[in-house]
Amino acid sequence: MDHFSLRYGVMHAEDVPLPVIADAVGTPVYVYSRATLERHARVFREALVDVPDKLIAFAVKSNPNLAVLKVLGAQGMGADVVSVGEMRRALAAGITPEMIVFSGVGKTAAEMAAALDAGIGQFNIESEEEGVELAEIAAARGVTAQCTLRINPDVDAGTHDKISTGKADNKFGVPISEAGQIFGKLAGLPGVNLRGVAVHIGSQLADLAPLEAAFLKLGELVGVLRGAGHEVTHVDLGGGLGVPYRVGEVLPQPAEYGAMVARVTKDWGVKLIFEPGRVIAGNAGVLLTRVVRVKRGIKDPFVIVDAAMNDLARPALYGAYHHFEAVEPKGAQMTANIVGPICETGDTFAMGRECDALQAGDLAVFRTAGAYGATMASSYNSRGFVAEVLVDGDKFAVVADRIEAGAIMDAERVPEWLA
């Protein structure tokens, strides 16, 4: 459930009519709802009531906006980060270092050092090589890195290939067949306290079965590790829960996920870490856009909006579906191709889409844009970076300025020898 709804024929974010935001900030603009973010955080937390010892770390990569992190931090969430840039955002939003988990296959030595200096709570090591390097860096600083070893369980998450992460040929984690041996090697190194294992098999999962299969394999591995004399006190179950992008789409609810987790892990005797991203932020945001013009087509008309693939990359990148609707629907429908102004055909949000009838100047939204939206924006076609707004009841604030193309050009230099 979210707080974007029609009132008196005008779509509102909580109590704010979207045309008011469009007039004040311009379009395109991402609009987030604080009440929705808080609701999703609460629902996820409540789904895990039967898990006694846990940390819920928001996957910052899904929406790294400082104001969003501030809202979620106040809900008791930690942060799952995949770069020092994300770590700095989590810290700047007031999330305590102990509640920060550092994931990612390519942590550089400088990043590991910075994260150790910040005193973060956990590193999820993705390879033997990374573990050895982290141990050296930590030992040289006279500190101990708290770690889990990320396991690649060889489970097909059944999602889009580009966001599948738990198959044997994906780059993430160590093969489960070698996990015991690598764990043993890393656990003996000074500088690291290898206290458990981690898994994250992919994103936008529409089915709990692959998650359960991965967790069961992980549970078995915990038994094997303990049998080999290792102490296992922490298990990180990652993120991945899908959200509905289509009207009427039914996905596993957080409560079902929580019940499955509680059932599978009840005898593990560990602290569990969760890294939800999309399920918290996805439906807490929309991309508000204005129709530039409607162009006649051979078959369907092209509705050309002022948002483009540089602002919302998911359709171009993954063929993703985003529900599209008018901010002030008049009741009539049309079948249209929804496209942005960018000069490539990849800049297509939908072909032959049945949607509200729209004409030049009308406002519309792409729904479910709060996760993997603004964070993937680029300045392709010198369009600048899209702005972001947070709504809270009847008030709203710009939480990321639009970065105009001119400001990006100002950061470029023409060398003297070209002058």
Ligand X SMILES: *Cc1c(COP(=O)(O)O)cnc(C)c1O
Residues that bind ligand X (CB under 6 A): 59, 61-62, 80, 103, 200, 203, 238-241, 275-279, 371
Chain centre to alpha carbon of residue 70: 16
SS3 339: strand
Residue 343 a catalytic site member: yes
Nearer to ligand X, 157 or 364 (CB): 157
| Least spacing, CB of residue 207 vs ligand X, in Å | 13
Nearer to ligand X, 275 or 362 (CB): 275
Nearer to ligand X, 238 or 285 (CB): 238
SS3 226: helix
Nearer to ligand X, 11 or 199 (CB): 199
| Strand residues in 64-171 grouped as ranges (E) | 78-81, 100-102, 122-125, 145-152
Ordered DSSP codes for 15-63? TEEHHHHHHHH-SSEEEEEHHHHHHHHHHHHHHTTT-SSEEEEEEGGG-
| Least spacing, CB of residue 147 vs ligand X, in Å | 14
How is residue 64 written in tokens? 């790294």
CA dist., res. 224 & res. 184, Å (int): 11
| Least spacing, CB of residue 278 vs ligand X, in Å | 4
How is residue 168 written in tokens? 């044997």
Nearer to ligand X, 192 or 241 (CB): 241
Nearer to ligand X, 44 or 396 (CB): 44
307 within 8 A of 273, measured Cβ to Cβ? no
CA dist., res. 11 & res. 8, Å (int): 8
| Least spacing, CB of residue 222 vs ligand X, in Å | 19
CA dist., res. 278 & res. 275, Å (int): 10
- Determine the straight-line distance between the first and last CA of the chain, rounded to whole angstroms: 57
Nearer to ligand X, 186 or 243 (CB): 243
| Least spacing, CB of residue 5 vs ligand X, in Å | 24
| Least spacing, CB of residue 279 vs ligand X, in Å | 6
Helix (H) or strand (E) holding 68: helix 66-74
| Least spacing, CB of residue 80 vs ligand X, in Å | 5
CA dist., res. 46 & res. 72, Å (int): 15
CA dist., res. 258 & res. 66, Å (int): 28
291 within 8 A of 361, measured Cβ to Cβ? yes
6, 24, 228, 343: the active-site residue: 343
Helix (H) or strand (E) holding 129: helix 128-141
Place of tokens 């008049």: 330
Catalytic residues: 343
